[in-house]
Chain A
Amino acid sequence: MMRTPARMRPHDPERNAAEYVSGELPGRTRRWFESHLLDCEDCWREVLFGRLGRRLGSDIRETAPTGLRDRVRASVEVEAMAGADARRDRPRRFSRRRDRGEPR
């Protein structure tokens, strides 16, 4: 019989199911948990809940409204132009010295 991996102790159906359903259990631990599921009603029930909840929470997705894409693009372009204008309008340092023809 496989030994219980250290990271699975103590027995915690919520946490184990959350990691398993998220695909975050490393190979050996996952294999141990899958064999544990055959004997443990609590963990199996939590896995079923977890799978269903994950599917419900991620399945329904909407496409962003058509106008939003244009609105976002325009606002980024305006922000970029504003940044460029601010750099151009920033007072130059040492301008008086340069205007008098003195070496920099």
Chain B
Amino acid sequence: MGAQTTPDDAFLRATMGSMDLVYNVARRLVPRREDVEDLVQETYLAAFRAWKDHRRPERVEPWLATICLNLARSRFRKRSVRPDEVALSEAVEAVGAAPDDTEREALGAIEREELYRAMWQLPEEQRVALTLVDLSGLSTTEAADVMQTPRGTVLSRLHRGRRALAVLLGDPIPEVTDR
């Protein structure tokens, strides 16, 4: 007889591959860096409890992203409303890279910090719509369910969030050519 699979084995096999996604979702939902890892851990624990109760998702990543969002809203909102300011030099120092990769990694760290700063300038509902649809891969119908709002509202928040990011980080007026 083969070894028996325990619920935690099955759960970890099904979900651990999505850790990077959950981490990135958490980074966009909780402003303080030290809370991000706690949120990821709590997301996995809540998901495991649901899994043990035989509440299994059709698609793991949107399921974990939704749990992460709900926890962020309920537990982490009060702790801080704005992210800690991270100096760019600090962001560069935070990267532990091999010497050859230092410059590339440093530039990556600067880009990331700029992105997070821009993200945190968006209203929460736009940031959540972007996180659910563009990062987690939910359809706008699924995101509307999660956000408990009409799909048209999600489309509007999504577009305004994308537009604001484009203005904050990219070319403010894209060339209206090359269709």
Question: Total A-B residue pairs with C-beta atoms closer than 8 Å?
Answer: 135
- Within 8 Å by CB of A61, from B20, B52, B176, lies B20
Are A48 and B176 within 8 A (Cβ)?
A: yes
Residues of B near A37 (CB, < 8 A) are 179
- The distance in angstroms between the C-alpha atoms of A51 and B83, with both chains bound, is 26
Interface of B is mostly: helix
- Chain B residues engaging chain A, CB cutoff 8 angstroms: 6-8, 11-12, 16, 19-20, 22-24, 27, 37, 40-41, 44-45, 48-49, 52, 111-112, 115, 118-119, 130, 133-135, 139-140, 152, 155-156, 158-167, 169-171, 174-176, 179
CB-based contact A50/B163 at 8 Å: yes
User: How far apart are A8's CB and chain B's nearest CB, in angstroms?
Assistant: 13
- On whether A64 and B166 interact (CB within 8 A), knowing A57-B130, A75-B45, A80-B8, the answer reads no
Residue A28 is within 8 A (CB to CB) of chain B in the complex: no
- In the bound complex, CA of A53 to CA of B165 (Å): 5
